[in-house]
């Protein structure tokens, strides 16, 4: 239902299109999907691995955009499928090196890295996500 009490089909809620004629109330308060998933236009969440896998999982097909089509070959279990459909080695995923043309191999990556700060063996661990600009410093436990 729209804020102005107009009833619309529930399939139109959170579908990425404004269906309420006087406001966008059908597109507000839509559920968020977990970081490691893909959000269909209608708000449904699917696994990231289901994006560009050649199978339409979203009702509207948003998980299989046109740029998925160039590669009809399925990636092996040792490979990662880039958003453009190409396959790269799974070892190249989340390695801080862009291997996919669209950089999809570095999306939603989380790493915890230890750096030696000085010669007295003080260390700082940091958690980073290449998809965000935050950096959280956490003192390492004393030895």
Q: Is the pLDDT of residue 129 over 50?
A: no
Asked if residue 135 belongs to a domain, the reply is yes
> 126 and 136 in contact (C-beta within 8 Å)?
yes
pTM higher than 0.75 for the full model? no
Does 85 share its domain with 116?
Answer: no
- Residue 99 belongs to what domain range? 65-107
Asked if residue 2 belongs to a domain, the reply is no
Whole-number Å distance between alpha carbons of 96 and 99: 9
Spatial CA neighbour of 48 closest among 81, 16, 73, 87: 81
Task: Please give the residue that has the higher pLDDT: either 34 or 20.
Answer: 20
What b/e sequence results for 28-56 when a residue is b if at least 16 CB atoms lie within 10 Å of its CB, and e otherwise?
eeeeebeeebbbbebbbbbebebbbbeee
pLDDT in tens, 93-110: 998 899 998 888 888 887
Does 69 share its domain with 100?
Answer: yes
pLDDT in tens, 48-57: 888 888 888 9
């Amino acid at each position: 239902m729209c804020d102005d009490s107009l009833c619309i089909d529930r399939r139109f809620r959170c579908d990425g299109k404004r269906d309420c004629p006087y406001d966008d109330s059908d597109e507000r308060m839509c559920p968020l999907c977990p970081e490691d998933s893909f959000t269909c236009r209608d708000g449904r969440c699917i696994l990231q691995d289901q994006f560009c896998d050649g199978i339409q999982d979203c009702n509207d097909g948003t998980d299989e955009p046109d740029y998925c089509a160039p590669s009809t070959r399925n990636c092996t279990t040792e490979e990662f499928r880039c958003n453009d459909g190409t396959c790269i080695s799974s070892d190249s995923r989340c390695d801080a090196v862009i291997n996919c043309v669209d950089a999809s191999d570095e999306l939603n990556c989380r790493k915890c890295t230890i750096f030696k700060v000085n010669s007295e063996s003080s260390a700082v661990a940091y958690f980073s996500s290449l998809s965000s600009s935050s950096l959280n410093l956490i003192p390492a436990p004393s030895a």
